[in-house]
């Protein structure tokens, strides 16, 4: 069977049966997107992903300097040669700005539909997709905060992929602590600024896929306050763009190095010096000293995108593992071997532990996919809402789910990839097979765009108490609605177990919120990551009973014979999650209740004498 | 601070305060090994590891064909050039056969002391240490099962590293299912056999570190029964060894390929064809058709060795992370930042989530080290026991702990390495820093020498019911003894929690054992890995309260001021394990109690339509 990236049947299930995306076509905004159109779009994305993006992925999995890899030559980055064709197809198919305003070159597609395409692209070739992904992010900032001239000069070319974009935050001494950055901006008197400083870890910092690169750069205007309150955002083009849109002279932007990494080899990670010769020009975007606000817009989009990356590699690894387990014949059926020493070898999918690994992978992959589609659907609900309360509700759900999506989908995506290596046995460790690369590529996702520790702090310190806790209350309400529905279709046992877990989670959230506001806040923040994990688990449980409820209804009606295993799989997977994973979640919550000062009290010297 | 591999203070604690290794010097066998000698040996091993093995490790972390890596040239393997010097020092220092009989060139060292050396070597350069490790394993088989002539011809040269050894089990269609192998052996009439077949995944299959390579090869003598009962073991030298010990003509052993892998690049993984020209000779070792018995001796040693590998990379990653977290300054103290917006940045070790990650790594690393030392000490107790019952008890403990050590220390070692990447942030993903290599290298350990799924089956299917459950009862007795001691020194709270977990584990073990013997055995085996994990967790809890009991006693006496943080660290880490990890273990055991047919019942088609 050809290598797959995402289970198409499950995409259709989520789009049409769970999220009911077609209902959006009743609104003026999304009137063009009926079921037939949606299915055609997903099929097209799938073909592009499998036939073009995927083959290039493995070819480019080589170290810098390799002829098939990233090369820094004379200060310019050449991306893997195999990326040129799929990149061109991504641009030509107008896949970069799927959800954006058609006025600026976007496709105006529902976010949920775009998500079905994005998971295919990212799962097929995460490294390649980072180039257009960052271009889109830079474009989005300009769309939101740019002056009319900035929009005119940059926006369409970022959205159509002629130019590339980046996100220049990190400096050697300012990683997670962005406020410590030292890059400066000095007004030139002509509306431009002189930018001076060095940035590291800049994905897509340069490339030969595009004519020009537009760098959004965080810098401090001379005399601005210290910390994040004195940070402004500038647009710094690699090649200056004249007022008529034509390209001017090269700007003073130097690529000083490209990192050698554990994975995503095809995505160049650049060190960049701006203004090394004192001649780097940029223009302010948004208000002075309000750069963090603009950057956060981009970061929130990027965080969800990174959650998607982590998840989608897990999905690809799971698909490979399921195929492999069906094809690899090794060892007899355990039960049969007891009675018949000559029992024949069987496909390893029949062995209990392999089946356990597969259902475990499926439980996380299906759960994460549902989470990502749910968040995407929230964006669509915001877009079509006419009532401000409704809009605010969905906006709040996006806010609270963003750190969970980023952290949980990258942690669990990596775990799924690790299991995907294990199912292949020794072959999983061999570079000839795809599982190792997926695992290595996935590792970065728990780190960049704010480490998962930062996400957990965001959840606990900002999102939990936001608007007096309304987003959290709304989330719990959504969950409880689905628990009720599950009970109505006869899934009372599993619904009851999810209910108990949700109630306990509510208690824990109160405890954490209270402690984080007390003099014991350090102890609460030491539990931030376990709390975020528990939140993710409970959310998975909710999405699984939601899935099971719909599947259970379908099975009780006259479902097509060939669809039965799919729906049975939904119910069994929910049962597995509730019986086998949720008890561990309850244990994690007990651990959080045990919160003491132990972690903060252990002497630093105890970590090594 | 120089890069460290293992916390020396903790080694000393385990050797002298926990395991009381010096007591062995009261026996005739180990009379030479008093405290001073032991400490000298460990110091020497440490210097060799840090100064010689460690630097070579990173240099050799390159793909096959790279001048610094493994190269297959004209059918011969060249190992990384940087390995030659440390390998020579390992041989010269007589570190290969530390615990073996001096009569055959061994050092006759207590196993526990050798373990303290091995963890340093393996943590410093796992890939390089595989060459002498496999030579030792091959030697051990010959020591145990060889004829006097085989011993004379091969043993000393394997133990002194002049020759290398391998372990030729796996074939393309016979991985986990060894009984399916197709390599054949045909008697030549002169006492030798003609060997014919192909093996894959042969570590150290060839190398230019040694003059000759001795391959123990599993093969089926023509006409022997199918399955594992018809398998015999042969010694197949790369270059024939004449009866006077001189080298004869090259044997018909061809290296047909070297795998490209995710990690342990410096360790060549060979495909070997024996008898491609019909001229491969070997001699039978042990009885015909009893090859699995001999191979199991080697595999059991190898499984403990692999547990050590997984753990030791975790230890190295933890040491690096602790150092990094003390040196890396980023972001203000959370508590101080509330009151003072200009609070200075602090070393990240002060941030709650970083400290949580460190104490988590420490909890697993310390626990695993204690497990490995305990098992080593069991070997020493077997060696000095005069009473057969005592000997049998320790032998049983080794048997039951071997699969747990292999699976748990490799899974958790990998998790620790993953956290070690996370603490470095973006730098963790960059090849310039050591954390990524440790994680990649570690991944193989959950796969080879029997996947961790196989280990869990061994625990559930063989070890749990062995001798009517005596080893498991002995283990529980050991644990309960330490619970009692902990209560006596005032650690009643944590001891009580461990007791509750152990009692629950006892119940679960009964349930699992019973179900595995019933018609529901497939459902039980679907829980084999979670059961193995729960066993490992409970064992960690036991070892932590044991540590805490000794530390607590030390603190109540007049311990040196400079030692206080170490002992406090022991108590705090035990508290952390009991409060933060053990509740999750209880959840895992609840999940096992929920065992149903769900996993076996989910339709295979549900894994992808």
Kindly report, residue by residue over B232-270, the tens digit of the pLDDT.
999 999 999 999 999 999 999 999 999 999 999 999 999
Determine, yes or no, domain membership for A557.
yes
pLDDT for position B62: 97
Q: Which of A67-71, A179-183, A579-583 has the lowest mean pLDDT?
A: A179-183
> Would you call B560 an interface residue with chain A, using a CB distance cutoff of 8 Å?
no
CA distance B504 to B486: 19
* Cα angle for residues B556, B562, B563 (degrees, 5° grid): 45
What chain B residue is nearest to A449 in terms of C-alpha separation?
A: B426
CA-wise closest residue to B443 among B127, B205, B53: B127
What is the C-alpha separation between A253 and A239, in angstroms, rounded? 9
Indicate if the pLDDT at residue A582 is higher than 80.
yes
Q: Residue A465 gets which letter from DSSP?
A: T
Q: Of A130, A159, A188, which closes a domain?
A: A159
DSSP annotation string for B8-75: HHHHHIIIIIIS-GGGGGGSSTTTT--HHHHHHHHHHHHHHIIIIIHHHHHHT-S-TTSTTS-EEETT
Mark which residues 87-146 of A lie under 8 Å from B by CB.
none
Average predicted confidence (pLDDT) for chain A: 96
What integer is the mean pLDDT of A245-257? 97
Distance of CA B466 to CAs A525, B173, B307, B400, Å?
A: 46, 30, 22, 9
* Cβ <8 Å between A422 and B452: yes
10 Å CB burial of residue A438 (0-12, 13-18, 19+) is: buried
Tell me the chain B residues in contact with residue A604 when contact means C-beta distances shorter than 8 Å: 326, 349, 565
- Are B145 and B203 in the same domain? no
What the block records as the tokens of A226 is 């210290």
Per-residue confidence at A558, pLDDT binned at 50, 70, 90? confident
Q: How far is B543 from chain A (nearest CA, A)?
A: 17
Partners of residue B353 in chain A, C-beta under 8 Å:
453, 456-457, 525-526, 528-529
Contacts of A587 in chain B (CB under 8 A): 583-588, 590
- CB of A578 within 8 A of CB of A494? yes
To the nearest whole angstrom, how far is the Cα of A457 from the nearest Cα of chain B? 9
Interface contact flag, B447 A431, Cβ < 8 Å: no
* A318 within a domain of the structure (yes/no): no
Cα separation values, A82 from A44, A57, A435, B262, Å = 20, 8, 20, 22
User: Among residues 506-525 of chain B, which lie with CB inside 8 Å of chain A?
Assistant: 521-523, 525
| CA gap B461, B440 in Å, rounded | 31
Sign of the CA dihedral running A529, A532, A538, A544: negative
A38, A581, B285, B456, B479 from B507: Cα distances, Å: 53, 20, 43, 18, 15
Q: Which residues of A touch B609 (CB under 8 A)?
A: 7-9, 565-566
Note the pLDDT tens digit of each residue in A292-331: 988 888 888 899 999 999 999 999 999 999 999 999 999 9
Alpha-carbon A168 to chain mean position: 19
Backbone φ/ψ region at A105: left (φ over 0), alpha (ψ -120 to 50), beta: left
Report the distance separating Cα A122 and Cα A54, nearest Å. 10
Residues with Cβ within 8 Å of residue B208, at least 6 apart in sequence: B76, B77, B78, B79
CA atoms of A501 and A585, how far apart (whole Å): 8
Residues B229 and B141 in one domain: no
pLDDT over 90 at A341, yes or no = no
State whether residue A446 sits within 8 Å of chain B by CB: yes
Same domain? B135 vs B217: no
Counting Cα atoms < 13 Å in the Cβ hemisphere of B192 gives: 14
**Two tokens, residue B56:** 């070579």
Q: Is A138 exposed, middle or buried (0-12, 13-18, 19+ CB in 10 A)?
A: buried
B530:A583 CB<8 A: no
CB contact under 8 A, B335 and A522: yes
The vertex-B535 CA angle with B576 and B440, nearest 5°, equals: 75
How many folded domains does chain B comprise? 3
CB proximity list for B59: less than 8 A, separation 6 or greater: B68, B80, B82
User: Would residue A483 count as lying in a domain?
Assistant: yes
| CB atoms closer than 10 angstroms to residue B381 | 19
pLDDT value at residue B176: 82
Please give the Cα distance from A525 to B232 (Å, whole number). 59
**CA distance to partner chain A, nearest, from residue B128 (Å):** 18
Q: Which residue of B has its CA nearest to A455?
A: B353
State whether B141 and B198 are in the same domain. Answer: no
Looking at residues A528-544, what average pLDDT do you find? 98
CB-closest option in A177, A421, A452 to B330 = A177
Q: How far are the Cα atoms of A139, A237, A250, A276, B293 from residue A193, in angstroms, in the given order?
A: 20, 12, 16, 14, 77
Is A529 in the B-facing interface, judged by CB distances under 8 Å? yes
With an 8 Å Cβ cutoff, is A63 touching chain B?
yes
Write the CB contacts of B260 (distance below 8 Å, at least 6 apart in sequence): A430, A431, A432, B63, B64
Cβ pair A609:B8 closer than 8 A: yes
Let me know if residue B213 belongs to a domain: yes
B507 to chain A, minimum CA–CA distance in Å?
17
Chain A positions touching B541 (Cβ under 8 A) are none
Is A440 part of the contact surface with chain B (CB cutoff 8 Å)? Answer: yes
User: Which of A459, A463, A460, A485 lies closest to A543 in space, CA to CA?
Assistant: A485
Domain CATH code at residue B226: 2.40.110.20
* Chain A residues 418-437 within an 8 A CB cutoff of chain B: 418, 421-422, 425-426, 428-432, 436
Quick check: A358 and B607 CB within 8 A?
yes
A428 near B447, Cβ under 8 Å?
yes
In angstroms, the CA A111 to CA A381 distance is: 10
* A449 in catalytic set: yes
Mean pLDDT, residues A399-408: 98
pLDDT computed for residue B608 by the predictor: 80
Contact with chain A for residue B528, Cβ under 8 A: yes
Alpha-carbon distance of A349 to B608, in angstroms, equals 13
Q: Is B354 on the interface with A (CB under 8 A)?
A: yes
Q: Are residues B154 and B170 in the same domain?
A: no
Domain-located, residue B105: yes
Both B185 and B153 in one domain: the answer is no
Active-site option among A52, A143, A171, A449: A449
Six-digit token pair at A354? 């392999």
Q: What is the CATH number of the domain that holds B70?
A: 1.10.540.10
**Yes or no, beta carbons of B418 and A414 under 8 Å apart:** yes
| Chain segment B10-50, per-residue pLDDT in tens | 999 999 999 999 999 999 999 999 999 999 999 999 999 99
Pick the last residue of a domain from A159, A191, A210.
A159
Buried b (16+ CB within 10 A) or exposed e, B566-601: bbbbbbbbbbbbbbbbbbbbbbbbbbbebbeebbbe
Q: What distance in Å separates the CA atoms of residue B554 and residue A105, rounded to the nearest whole number?
A: 72
- To the nearest whole angstrom, how far is the Cα of A280 from the nearest Cα of chain B? 27
Both structure tokens of B599: 């996993």
d(CA A564, CA A577): 20
DSSP H helical ranges for B176-327:
291-327
Question: How far is Cα B119 from Cα B366, in angstroms, rounded to an integer?
Answer: 12
Clarify whether residues B99 and B184 are in a common domain: no
User: What DSSP element (H or E) covers A350?
Assistant: none
In this structure, is residue B391 part of a structural domain? no
Cβ–Cβ below 8 Å for A525 and B352: yes
Written as one string, the DSSP assignment of A41-104 is HHHHHHHHIIIIIHHHHHHT-S-TTSTTS-EEETTEEE--GGGHHHHHHHHHTT-TTTTS-GGG
**Residues B486 and B592 placed together within one structural domain of the fold:** yes
3-state DSSP assignment of residue B254: strand
Interchain CB distance below 8 Å, B569 and A606: yes
Q: Quick check: B271 and B166 in contact, CB under 8 A?
A: no
Q: Are B393 and B522 in contact (CB under 8 A)?
A: no
Q: What pairs with residue A193 in β-bridges?
A: A187, A282
The segments of chain B whose pLDDT lies below 50 read none
Closest CB to A529 among B349, B356, B570: B356
Chain centroid, CA B550 distance in Å = 26
Å between A458 CA and nearest CA of chain B: 13
A138-151 pLDDT, tens digit per residue, is 999 999 999 999 99
Residue B211 lies in a domain: yes
Confirm or reject contact between A572 and chain B (CB < 8 A).
Answer: yes
Q: Distance between CA atoms of A541 and A499, rounded to whole angstroms?
A: 10
Q: Is residue B259 included in any domain, yes or no?
A: yes
Q: What is the DSSP string of A466-527?
A: GGGGHHHHHHHHHHHHHHHHHHHTT-HHHHHHHHHHHHHHHHHHHHHHHHHTSTTHHHHHTT
> Where residue A1 falls among pLDDT bands split at 50, 70, 90?
low
Residue A560 forms contact with B (CB below 8 Å)? no
The SS3 of residue B177 is: coil
User: CB distance A568–B201 less than 8 Å?
Assistant: no
The tokens of A583 are what? 């008890």
Q: What digits encode the pLDDT tens for the residues A462-475?
A: 999 999 999 999 99
Give the closest-approach CA distance of B46 to chain A in angstroms.
15
- Give Dmax (Cα) for chain B: 89
Q: B229 and B117 share a domain?
A: no
Query: Distance (Å, rounded) from C-alpha A416 to C-alpha B535?
Result: 23
Q: Which of residues 158-187 of A touch B (CB under 8 A)?
A: 170, 173, 175-177, 180
**Do residues B133 and B244 share a domain?**
no
Q: Do A530 and B580 touch (CB under 8 A)?
A: yes
Q: Which of B353, B430, B568, B595 to mutate to test the interface with A (most CBs of A within 10 A)?
A: B353
Rg, C-alpha atoms of chain A: 25
Q: Is residue B150 within 8 Å of residue B235, measured between CB atoms? A: yes
Say yes or no: B189 and B281 in one domain.
yes
- DSSP 8-state assignment for residue A410: H
Place of tokens 């001073």: B36
B154 and B184 belong to one structural domain: no
Residue of A594, A602, A603, A605 to mutate, testing the B interface (most B Cβ within 10 Å of its Cβ): A602
Question: Residue A537 is part of which domain span?
Answer: 452-602
Kind and range of the H or E element at A38? Answer: helix A35-48
Strand partners for A332:
A345
The proportion of chain A whose per-residue pLDDT surpasses 70, expressed as a percent, equals 100
pLDDT digits (tens, 9 = 90+) for A116-162: 999 999 999 999 999 999 999 999 999 999 999 999 999 999 999 99
Whole-angstrom distance, CA of residue B260 vs CA of residue B270: 10
- Which of A159, A175, A202 is at the close of a domain? A159
Out of B52, B68, B399, B449, pick the active-site residue.
B449
Provide the pLDDT for residue B250: 98
């Amino acid at each position: 069977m050809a290598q797959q990236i995402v289970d198409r049947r499950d995409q259709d299930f989520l789009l049409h049966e769970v999220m009911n995306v077609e209902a959006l076509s009743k609104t003026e905004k999304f009137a063009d997107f009926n079921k037939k159109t949606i299915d055609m779009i997903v099929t097209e994305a799938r073909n592009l992903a499998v036939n073009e993006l995927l083959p290039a992925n493995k070819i480019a999995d080589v170290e810098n300097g390799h002829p098939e890899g990233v090369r820094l030559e004379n200060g310019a980055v050449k991306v893997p040669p195999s990326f040129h064709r799929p990149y061109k197809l991504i641009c030509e198919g107008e896949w970069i700005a799927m959800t954006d305003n058609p006025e600026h070159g976007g496709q105006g597609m529902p976010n949920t539909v775009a998500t079905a395409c994005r998971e295919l692209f990212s799962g097929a070739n995460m490294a390649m997709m980072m180039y257009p992904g960052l271009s889109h992010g830079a474009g989005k900032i300009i769309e939101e905060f740019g002056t009319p001239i900035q929009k005119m000069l940059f926006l369409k070319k970022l959205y159509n992929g002629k130019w590339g974009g980046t996100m220049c935050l990190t400096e050697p001494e300012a990683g997670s602590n962005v406020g410590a950055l030292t890059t400066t901006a000095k007004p030139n008197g002509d509306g431009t600024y002189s930018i001076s400083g060095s940035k590291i870890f800049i994905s897509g910092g340069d490339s030969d896929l595009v004519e020009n690169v537009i760098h959004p750069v965080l810098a401090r205007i001379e005399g601005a306050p210290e910390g994040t309150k004195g940070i402004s955002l500038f647009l710094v083009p690699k090649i200056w763009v004249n007022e008529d849109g034509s390209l001017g002279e090269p700007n003073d932007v130097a690529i000083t190095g490209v990192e050698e990494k554990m994975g995503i080899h095809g995505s160049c990670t650049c060190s960049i010096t701006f203004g090394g010769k004192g001649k780097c020009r940029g223009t302010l975007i948004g208000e002075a000293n309000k750069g963090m606000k603009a950057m956060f817009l981009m970061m929130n989009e990027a965080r969800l995108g990174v959650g998607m990356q982590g998840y989608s590699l897990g999905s690809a690894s799971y698909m490979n593992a399921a195929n492999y387990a069906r094809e690899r014949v090794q060892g007899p059926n355990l039960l049969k071997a007891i009675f018949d020493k000559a029992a024949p070898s069987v496909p390893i999918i029949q062995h209990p532990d392999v089946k356990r690994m597969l259902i475990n992978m499926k439980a996380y992959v299906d759960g994460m996919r549902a989470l990502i589609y749910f968040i995407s659907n929230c964006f669509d609900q915001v877009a079509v809402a006419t009532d401000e309360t409704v809009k605010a509700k969905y906006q709040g759900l996006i806010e609270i789910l963003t750190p969970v999506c980023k952290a949980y989908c990258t942690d669990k995506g990596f775990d799924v990839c690790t299991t995907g290596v294990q199912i292949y046995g020794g072959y999983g460790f061999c570079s000839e097979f795809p599982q190792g690369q997926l695992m290595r590529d996935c590792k970065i996702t728990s780190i960049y765009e704010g480490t998962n520790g930062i996400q957990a702090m965001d959840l606990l310190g900002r999102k939990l108490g936001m608007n007096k806790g309304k987003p959290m209350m709304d989330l719990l309400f959504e969950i409880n609605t689905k628990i009720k529905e599950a009970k109505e279709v006869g899934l009372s046992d599993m619904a009851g177990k999810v209910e108990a877990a949700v109630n306990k989670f509510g208690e824990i959230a109160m405890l954490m919120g209270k402690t984080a506001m007390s003099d014991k806040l350090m102890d609460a923040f030491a539990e931030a990551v376990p709390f975020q994990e528990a939140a993710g688990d409970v959310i998975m449980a909710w999405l699984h009973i939601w899935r099971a409820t719909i599947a259970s209804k379908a099975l009780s009606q006259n479902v097509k014979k060939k669809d039965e295993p799919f729906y049975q799989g939904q119910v069994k997977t929910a049962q597995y999650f509730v019986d086998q994973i949720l008890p561990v979640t309850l244990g994690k919550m007990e651990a959080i209740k045990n919160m003491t000062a132990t972690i903060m009290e252990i002497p630093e010297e105890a970590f090594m004498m």
